[in-house]
Amino acid sequence: MKIAFFTETFLPKVDGIVTRLTKTVQYLVEAGDEVVVFCPEGCPDTYMGAKVIGVAAMPLPLYPELKLGLPGPAVSDALENFQPDLIHVVNPAVLGLGGIWLAKTNNIRLIASYHTHLPKYLEHYGMGMLEPLLWELLKAAHNQAVLNLCTSTAMVKELSEKGIQNTALWQRGVDTETFRPELRNDNMRQRLLGEFSDEGSLLIYVGRLSAEKQIERIKPVLEALPNARLALVGDGPYRQQLEKIFQNTATNFVGYLSGEELASAYACGDAFLFPSSTETLGLVLLEAMAAGCPVVGANRGGIPDIITDQINGCLYNPDGKNEGSESLIQATQAILGNESQRLSMRKAAREEAEKWGWRSATNQLRNYYTDVIDKKYDGQSLSN
């Protein structure tokens, strides 16, 4: 097959969407498919045998790390030269809309996928009143596609309820070779602790430091558990505010880590806290679990697909008393309070992650592609 991706985010940016895309491209090429990726400028020219075409882009005001590509004639010419069997638009915005238009005008089969729960982000930036309008725009874009893929059962259900048609599940995946428990070591643990002593439990968060991630919800946990320490791995526009919020607490801002250092950081945590209630999936949770770290996540969005409460981690209610702080404290205590239970959760977390390899996820995607190209898809939900 010949597949053209249109994505609003790609390398060198690092996030869950880029991780999924890079792994997908890798396994598509290994399977013998030809792949072209259209993405914002600043990208490499090639990746794992796929051609990557950078498009002039401008930063999104609320999300400066996200650049909106502006498709021009060069994109149309490159697509005509490639002659794809199918266009896959990832999180359609400006560049994605260009991909949708090119698919329609050139009679190319079109798939779209939904990864970022933007309507729910709006309330964290003081623009919640625009949520109904954004859903209408998303519906208009996604309903141009033959098939709309979501990364969790909750998102399949929610998009269907919002009027987005022909939804199906694109199964989760994680790199269990990179992320593994054996990378736990004293040197990385001390790096995560920073100036704080290793006398209690080490809580970790990995991801973008931004308002919608609701990281400030971890502060009451530190106040309730005075022997706990927190390592925040990552960076983003909310860092300065978070430094003020967590002032005078046992919190270390580690910054970005990648590769084996990141995998080691996951493995060194006693519990991974992910308070966000806006996640379509939460790939970092799977990475933590692959590293054998028990996780705490919100009982919202795609997270319950990953966490089996009290087995491989704990779910908390983000809408409970004091904006979920009591529930988050209790979930964290459930992991930290019983050593034998925590060890059991570490083992169960790894076992859950081992079920979800990227090769399997990409094989499922290729089956969707084949059915769409062969026009076997009749507008009803495909089997998941």
Residue 103 has pLDDT above 50, yes or no: yes
CA distance 144 to 115: 17
Collapsed DSSP state (helix, strand, coil) of residue 301? coil
Q: Please report which confidence band the pLDDT of residue 124 belongs to, taking 50, 70 and 90 as the band edges.
A: low
**pLDDT (mean) for 114-134:** 67
More confident residue, 44 or 376: 44
Whose tokens are 């439990």? That residue is 201
pLDDT tens string 43-101: 999 999 999 999 998 876 666 666 777 788 999 999 999 999 999 999 888 899 999 99
Q: Please report which confidence band the pLDDT of residue 215 belongs to, taking 50, 70 and 90 as the band edges.
A: very high
Tokens standing for residue 13: 């940016």
Any idea which of 55-59, 75-79, 152-156, 349-353 has the lowest mean pLDDT? 55-59
> Nearest CA to 149 among 361, 374, 309?
361
**The predicted structure's pLDDT at residue 65:** 64
Q: Please report which confidence band the pLDDT of residue 165 belongs to, taking 50, 70 and 90 as the band edges.
A: very high
Percent pLDDT > 90 in the chain is: 74
Residue 355 has pLDDT above 80, yes or no: yes
Q: Please report which confidence band the pLDDT of residue 381 belongs to, taking 50, 70 and 90 as the band edges.
A: very low
Q: Give 256-286 as a DSSP string.
A: ---HHHHHHHHHH-SEEEE--S--SS-HHHH
Residue 382 has pLDDT above 70, yes or no: no
pTM beyond 0.95: the answer is no
**The predicted structure's pLDDT at residue 70:** 79
**The predicted structure's pLDDT at residue 50:** 98
Percent pLDDT > 70 in the chain is: 91
pLDDT tens string 217-269: 999 999 999 999 999 999 999 999 999 999 999 999 999 999 999 999 999 99
**The predicted structure's pLDDT at residue 375:** 82
**The predicted structure's pLDDT at residue 322:** 62
**The predicted structure's pLDDT at residue 220:** 96
Distances (CA, A) of 88 to 103, 115, 193: 9, 13, 42
* R_g (Cα) of the chain, nearest Å: 21
* 57-60 and 50-55 beta bridge pairing: unpaired
**The predicted structure's pLDDT at residue 333:** 95
**The predicted structure's pLDDT at residue 126:** 62
Architecture in CATH for domain 2-173+357-373: 3-Layer(aba) Sandwich (3.40)
Fold match, 2-173+357-373 / 181-353: yes
**The predicted structure's pLDDT at residue 319:** 84
**The predicted structure's pLDDT at residue 384:** 40
Residue 372 has pLDDT above 80, yes or no: yes
Computed over every residue of the chain, the mean pLDDT equals 90
Terminal CA-CA length for the chain:
21
Q: Where are the domains of the chain?
A: 2-173+357-373, 181-353
pLDDT tens string 273-296: 999 988 878 899 999 999 999 999
CA angle, 342 then 17 then 275, to 5° = 40
Alpha-helix runs per DSSP H in 173-276: 186-193, 219-224, 239-245, 259-268
**The predicted structure's pLDDT at residue 325:** 85
Q: Please report which confidence band the pLDDT of residue 380 belongs to, taking 50, 70 and 90 as the band edges.
A: very low
Q: What CATH number belongs to 181-353?
A: 3.40.50.2000
pLDDT tens string 171-183: 999 999 999 999 9
